[in-house]
Amino acid sequence: MKRVIIFFCILIIVSGMSFALDLFSGPSFIQPGNVFISVGYNSGIVEAKSKYDPMFSGDFNIWGLTLALDYTLQFNCITIGIESGFSSGSGVDKRDYEGYLGFFPVMGRLGYHPDLGVNNLDVYGLFKIGFAIGSFYSNKVEEDDNYFSIGFGLGGRYFFGKVFGVFAELGIDSYLFDSNDYDIITVYKIYTVGIIFKF
């Protein structure tokens, strides 16, 4: 699944760059100094691998809210910003033990926005880096932890006017957590959809 998403993102980014009218300028309706605030629903999966017994391993579904702020630089094809939010999920491992996870990421964002020549449409690539604070508990363990996180993806925004629009982002944000019960807990936030405001 992850390899398919990675290939999909790379393919669309390369294709978009190939057809872009101007690789060094952003869309004409985006100007240097513009600020974007977006709020969205996100979903993904959690992979947990036990250090003691493979039967304790399992996959969980997650969902939550994402809040992001982006600022357009002088070269209006580049944005920088910050992203945060909260996501949680639950599931059962191979021994039917239920586990719960909640996490709060704080990540910097770097976006590239080529001009594809379509009015009110902004297609972009993202690179993210930061950390995430997570809480995990199951039948056997309860603990808090934080760890380095990294992400990348592809997004699209469509504006219905000068201020309001909708967006969707596809990719992988990966957060790694240590645990007494598990060898590694990896969170993958795969997609986000929501609304966006431009100022």
154 token code pair? 């592809």
What tokens does 132 get? Answer: 């995430």
What pTM did the predictor assign?
Answer: 0.79
pLDDT digits (tens, 9 = 90+) for 96-105: 667 777 888 8
Which pLDDT score is estimated for 34? 94
Q: What is the mean pLDDT of the chain?
A: 81
Give the architecture (CATH level 2) of 2-198.
Answer: Beta Barrel (2.40)
Q: Give the tokens for residue 125.
A: 């690539």
DSSP 82-123: EEEEEEEEEEE-TT--EEEEEEEEEEEEEEE--B-S-TTEEE
Would you list the domain boundaries of the chain?
2-198
| Across 78-103, average pLDDT | 81
Give the per-residue pLDDT at 42: 94
| Residue 20 pLDDT exceeds 50 | no
